[in-house]
Amino acid sequence: MGAVSAAGDGIGPLRELLRSGRTAIRPLTRFQPSGPPIGALVESPPSPDRDDDPDFHQELGVSFGVRAALEALGDTDPEHVALVVGTNLEDRPRPLDELAHDLAARVGLRGPVVTCSSACASSATAVGHALRLLDRGVARVLVGGFDVVSPRLHAGFHRLNALASAPCSPFSTRTGISLGDGSAFVLLELRDDAHPTGLNGWATRADAHHPTAPAPDGRGVRSALSRAWAQAGEPEIDWVSAHGTGTEANDAAEWRGIQRVLGDVPVSAPKSQLGHTQGAAGMLELVAALIARDAGFLPATAGFHQPRPGAPPDCVPQVRTAELEHVASVSCGFGGVNTAIVAGPSRSWARPQRPVHIAAIGRVESPEPLDPRDLKSELRSFDPRDADPSTLWLLAAIRRAWAGRRLGRDERAATGLIVAQRCTSPARIEELDRRLHDQGLDAMGAVLFSRSLPIVPGGACSLELGLRGPVDVVLGDPDEALDHGRWLLATEPELAGMLVVHVREAEPDHPDEGAVAIWLRPGVPTAGQRVMESGTRFTDAY
């Protein structure tokens, strides 16, 4: 394991912070924000200017990633190690997959590189891609993420009225988020011998409820955690590391989902000590959970005073000694993404795989006209005037793949969506850049900020179509997205199907646009259908 956080560089300072029960949330020094001037930032040089410098923040994120990755690698030969990066960092001026390849080059990795972005669940969701690569025969995979608090990010959350004026304390009477930055990576390998720590279960599921708010009943958390727990053999879970952002809606919904699966288990919120590290949060908090498990203590929810309505009965207000065997970590994100990981003594990861076939393909491309009014006729609440071009192309391709077939509610709820795209919607980024250039960060709008993430088109399609299976975004390589969709469907028996869509939105240097949707279903193909083999390329499929 390797980590860079507000506690300092390395696993040692992180362990010390967790044992202390104190918070690393403190006054901001890197830049002067317009909102609450606190956060859990890694010690670094001041930002060149208050108006934001995307080059600076991208380089800072990669530097965090390099430091954490090198610690996780130790003396391992990096020659044949794969890399999976999950991040929510702004993909400007460079695409995020380019940053991942940059990290791999600096560390000396020569294996495959996969980049995914599912908002604040990014690095936890990345674990699934690492497990798939291990299943495919890759010997070792370095998986994790990095993220940075920028003035633009801080302003966006401030406009959402989500930031706390004092260090956040999830589940307690003080509400609100404290942002943080940093990085964490773990080196995974398949082991034949017993090992004290293994990742026994992993799953991701969508809420299909709202672009930014969780389903109040916690159904996405419940579904992801239930699947991960079942994969792990349904062991007794001794403690849960909660996503715990500090907002009333998120904390209450998450606890409902956890309680439905595990009962009244002790729960701590690492964000009370480390801040909300965005795309890096899932892996940083998993590493924190593994540190606590191995050292035999429950980390505290720092600053916890009195429980607010809907809080767990045991929020671990003080650090306490405990014998931990199995622990769980939960991560959630915009777009309705929920990911759960169960860790305990290593056990066989072998899972039966069922055949998967290509049920249908839908393809729409420019200069074919795209009429948003035509899409609206089949959707429950969709307003095409608010959608970016990527979302419209996605919906059009899926509609054509389904070819008028109306899937029942239960079948849609058991269907997932993997989106392959180059970057965040260029139209959305251009709109946001134009407003900030003209009016400055004080003009950051809550709605526009929440729509400027890579997950937005996939999350919107998941919501509108009622898809509550896995939802994820793969950046840069559609073949990885297709292989991941097939792997999920082959190994998770409760899934009824997977949609894998490659979408291209017009950019100045890439004028062509459109989308191809491949609808995968389990079972032996019928006449006119084909078995989906592992390693099939996107262009081969159609």
* Residues carrying an active site annotation: 120, 243, 276
Identify the DSSP state of 243. -
C-beta separation of 129 from 143 below 8 A: yes
User: What stretch of H or E contains 511?
Assistant: none
Please count the residues of the chain: 542
Give the Cα separation of 513 and 357 in Å (integer).
27
Structure tokens at 494: 């409760």
3-state secondary structure 316-373: CCCCEECCCCCEEEEEEECCCEEEEEEEECCCCCCCCCCCEEEEEEEEEECCCCCCHH
Residue 298's SS3 state is: strand
List residues bridging with 315 in a β-sheet.
Answer: none
On the CB side of 215, how many CA atoms lie within 13 Å of its CA?
20
On the CB side of 194, how many CA atoms lie within 13 Å of its CA?
2
Please, what is the end-to-end C-alpha distance for the chain in angstroms?
41
CA distance to 39, 164, 235, 237, 337, per residue, from 261 (Å): 33, 30, 12, 10, 18
One-letter amino acid of 90: E
Residue 527's SS3 state is: coil
